[in-house]
């Protein structure tokens, strides 16, 4: 796809995911982006190079990935990082001691950890609020608030945050609005179109899609912000190698078809769980009973492949259930073709103190699943078997 046809308005996401940023190699015609396993580049005279000097600063495989991801998020600019945490860290690099951040009370555990165990030590302050309540977001803003950081759907309760409403509040206070769009993916939701300034991704999840790579990305339409992200990419050095970049490019080609199946399977499992006596509550934005359903319908094209449910069970019983599945693998992470199951309390959200965790609704019996693209009947049978094995 030549550059002049790369823009989001010309082609639909199913086409851009395959072609954007991925022209055949000029020298050889190779269809697939080559893995430029290379650290440095010949210069014709000092400072006179062909766009690349050193691979931390830039690498052609990474450039193709950055262009591809930018196109998927309807963004002008994209930067790839060594992990989702590295991209989150890069947004935090924009802050100074004394700044304040408003964020959600059920953000990903690693995000909570970098906020409280890394940046609080640098005198950045954080307020953790219920992001589904726009009044609570507004009330948390202070004179020194520079950033609103949010996830939607949230991890693991699948709460839905009104992106346009939240971005407006941030902008009224001259703060940046950054959205972690890992759960929804650009196939289902484009936060920049709804007013966000920055989108962050863990490429490790749906964008990579095959549980074989760790990566991150930041997308924006703001040239100055992009330049700052580039500065930190080069200065901090948490960039992905060419092989990782290639793997993610390989993944994004099938993002739309994978997401369609993830959503279809998740919807059927959510419906099934709702009717089970062992299950107290199902958290899936596609259910009409979900409090964020209406907003999700407005800002998402479908409801995603992630869901959580609360078992009427102790920590031990819930642990037994997640250890008893055969098709679902007991593992952290999400977004791969294979289904995963986990218990947030002792796993992904173990970094959050218990009291704070329970207050945010992350109970001991809560189970999160990343619904894969296997046959849904096999997945449902597997859950049924695990309930029988793990519960009295």
Ligand X SMILES: Cc1ncc(COP(=O)(O)O)c(C=O)c1O
Q: Where in the sequence numbering do the catalytic residues fall?
A: 56, 108, 180, 205
Closest approach of ligand X to the CB of residue 109, in Å:
8
> Of the two residues 82 and 192, which places its CB atom closer to ligand X in the complex?
82
> Of the two residues 149 and 309, which places its CB atom closer to ligand X in the complex?
149
> Of the two residues 152 and 324, which places its CB atom closer to ligand X in the complex?
152
Q: Which residues of the chain form contacts with ligand X (CB under 6 A)?
A: 83-85, 108, 110, 151, 155, 180, 182-183, 202, 204, 214, 216, 333
| Both structure tokens of 21 | 């940023």
Closest approach of ligand X to the CB of residue 388, in Å:
30
> Of the two residues 294 and 332, which places its CB atom closer to ligand X in the complex?
332
Closest approach of ligand X to the CB of residue 129, in Å:
18
- Ordered strands of the 340-342 beta sheet: 279-283, 306-311, 366-370, 340-342, 329-330
Omega before 70 cis (within 30°)? Answer: no
Closest approach of ligand X to the CB of residue 255, in Å:
16
- Phi and psi for 57 in degrees, rounded to 5? -75, -40
Determine the Cα–Cα distance for residues 75 and 190; give it in Å rounded to an integer.
9
């Amino acid at each position: 796809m030549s550059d002049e046809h790369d823009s989001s308005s010309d082609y639909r996401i199913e086409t851009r995911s395959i072609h954007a940023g991925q022209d055949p190699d000029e020298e050889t015609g190779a269809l697939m982006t080559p893995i430029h396993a290379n650290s440095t580049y010949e210069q014709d005279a000092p400072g006179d190079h062909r766009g690349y000097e050193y691979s931390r600063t830039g690498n052609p495989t990474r450039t193709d990935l950055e262009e591809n991801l930018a196109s998927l998020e309807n963004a002008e600019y994209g930067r790839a990082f060594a992990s989702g945490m590295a991209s989150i860290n890069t947004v935090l690099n924009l802050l100074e001691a004394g700044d304040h951040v408003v964020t959600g009370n059920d953000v990903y555990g690693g995000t909570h950890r970098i906020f409280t165990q890394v940046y609080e030590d640098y005198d950045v302050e954080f307020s953790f609020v219920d992001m589904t309540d726009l009044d609570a977001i507004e009330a948390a803003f202070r004179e020194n608030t520079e950033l609103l950081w949010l996830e939607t759907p949230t991890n693991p309760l699948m709460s839905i945050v009104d992106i346009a409403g939240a971005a407006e509040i941030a902008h009224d206070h001259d703060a940046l609005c950054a959205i972690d769009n890992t759960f929804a993916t650009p196939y289902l939701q484009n936060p920049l179109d709804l007013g966000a300034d920055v989108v962050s991704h863990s490429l490790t999840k749906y964008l990579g899609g095959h549980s074989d790579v760790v990566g991150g990305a930041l997308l924006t339409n703001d040239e100055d912000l992009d330049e700052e992200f580039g500065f930190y990419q080069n200065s901090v050095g948490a960039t992905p190698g060419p092989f990782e970049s290639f793997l993610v490019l390989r993944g994004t080609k099938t993002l739309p078809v994978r997401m369609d199946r993830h959503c279809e399977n998740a919807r059927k499992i959510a419906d099934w769980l709702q009717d089970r006596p062992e299950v107290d509550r199902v958290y899936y934005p596609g259910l009409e009973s979900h409090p964020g359903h209406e907003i999700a319908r407005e800002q998402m094209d479908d409801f995603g492949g992630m869901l959580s449910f609360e078992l009427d069970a102790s920590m031990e019983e819930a642990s037994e259930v997640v250890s008893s599945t055969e098709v679902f693998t007991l593992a952290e992470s999400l977004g791969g073709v294979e289904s995963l199951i986990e218990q947030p309390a002792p796993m992904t959200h173990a970094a959050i103190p218990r009291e704070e965790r329970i207050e945010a609704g992350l109970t001991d019996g809560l189970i999160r699943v990343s619904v894969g693209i296997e046959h849904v009947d096999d997945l449902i049978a597997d859950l049924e078997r695990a309930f029988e094995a793990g519960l009295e």
